[in-house]
Amino acid sequence: MKIFGIGGTNGAGKDSVGEMLAERHGFLFVSVSDLLREEARKRGLAIEREVLRTISAEWRREFGLGVLVDRSVELAEKGKYSGVVAVPMRNVGEAKRVHELGGQLIWIDADPKIRYERITSRLRSAEDKKTFEEFLKEEQVEMTQSGDEATLNMTGVKDICDIFLENNGDDIEVFKDEAEKALGF
């Protein structure tokens, strides 16, 4: 089974590439953030980034650093998929797990102002309501490791990625086409 893990900055287009792989190539697209949101709901916790970070670190400590990748692969193995794409990769251990399983890591980025505009225009949840300064501060927290190896370290993920994509345009279909080509499809 082909495996991709996608990391990148908030609002850069990670989900769009995951959706493209699902729609065009039969991959299972797993939003690991949705797995964490589901767990927060089960526990009766607020759906906030800090809560999701806490749950993800807890799971990594309990089940291993690659737990979110392993759960994504398990879900894909239950169906008839050509591969699995797990989004987002925010911990070095889960990124390394993608490599251990023979997969590739993709890093997606875009200008911070463009990304902030995308996030605030979609307002999928209370998580997306913030000022530009709060957006940048929150991102900085997630970029650098601030605890043990189970905590977030997006810079560490970026450092071991195989494929790098920039998404500064305003046409998502053009970006999906460019990503598809960069991934060798």
Q: What is the pLDDT of residues 85-99, one digit of tens each?
A: 999 999 999 999 999
Q: What is the mean pLDDT of residues 144-160?
A: 92
Residue 127 within a domain: yes
Total of domains in the chain: 1
Residue 180 within a domain: no
Which phi and psi angles does 17 have, rounded to 5°? -70, -40
Residue 53 within a domain: yes
Residue 182 within a domain: no
Dihedral-angle region of residue 26 (phi above 0 means left; psi in -120 to 50 means alpha; beta otherwise): left
- On whether the CB atoms of residues 32 and 68 are closer than 8 A, the answer is yes
Residue 119 within a domain: yes
Q: What is the mean pLDDT of residues 101-106?
A: 98
Residue 20 within a domain: yes
Dihedral-angle region of residue 88 (phi above 0 means left; psi in -120 to 50 means alpha; beta otherwise): beta
Q: What is the mean pLDDT of residues 6-16?
A: 95
Q: What is the CATH number of the domain that holds 58?
A: 3.40.50.300
Share of the chain above pLDDT 90, in %: 83
pLDDT of residue 123: 64
User: 110-114, 115-119, 129-133 — which one is most confidently predicted on average?
Assistant: 110-114
- Tell me the residue range of the domain where 146 lies: 2-168
Residue 132 within a domain: yes
Sign of CA dihedral 103, 26, 106, 66: negative
- On whether the CB atoms of residues 111 and 168 are closer than 8 A, the answer is yes
